[in-house]
Amino acid sequence: MIQIKRAYDEVSKDDGFRILVDRLWPRGLSKEKLKIDLWLKEIAPSIELRKSFNHDPDKWDWFRTRYKEELKEKSELVSTIKKLEEEKGKVTLVYAAKDNKHNNALVLQELLSN
């Protein structure tokens, strides 16, 4: 099971294995508070894509398409998450964005669920 959760939400034992999927560490959170098992910053959108998107809902479809293209180049990292899901049973992709309907973790979750 692959789920997503905002970094600023309370950590739960139901989260399972927690993977931070952002390039930048969430502001104001210590390692102890975030309780991340793995930081896969390389799987995050490229700096250029992240800046171009800038969490603009009007650019969501464009961002999803571009990010999925980038993820094709990162198949080893995608496979790592799939293997962890098989081993751990439950994986939570952790992201920092305020918008819970337009973020990279959603795209990654969608890709991993197919």
CA distance 3 to 90: 8
Q: Return the residue matching tokens 């049973």.
A: 89
**Residue 20's pLDDT is what?**
98
**Residue 59's pLDDT is what?**
97
**Residue 106's pLDDT is what?**
97
Residue 104 has a CB neighbour count (10 Å cut-off) of: 26
Give the model's confidence band at 114: pLDDT under 50 very low, under 70 low, under 90 confident, else very high.
confident
CA distance 37 to 55: 26
- DSSP letter string over the chain? -EEEEETTSPP-GGG-EEEE--SSPPTT--HHHH--SEE-GGGSPPHHHHHHHTT-GGGHHHHHHHHHHHHHTTHHHHHHHHHHHHHHS-EEEEE--S-SSSSHHHHHHHHHH-
pTM for the whole structure: 0.94
pLDDT tens digits, one per residue of 11-67: 999 999 999 999 999 999 999 999 999 999 999 999 999 999 999 999 999 999 999
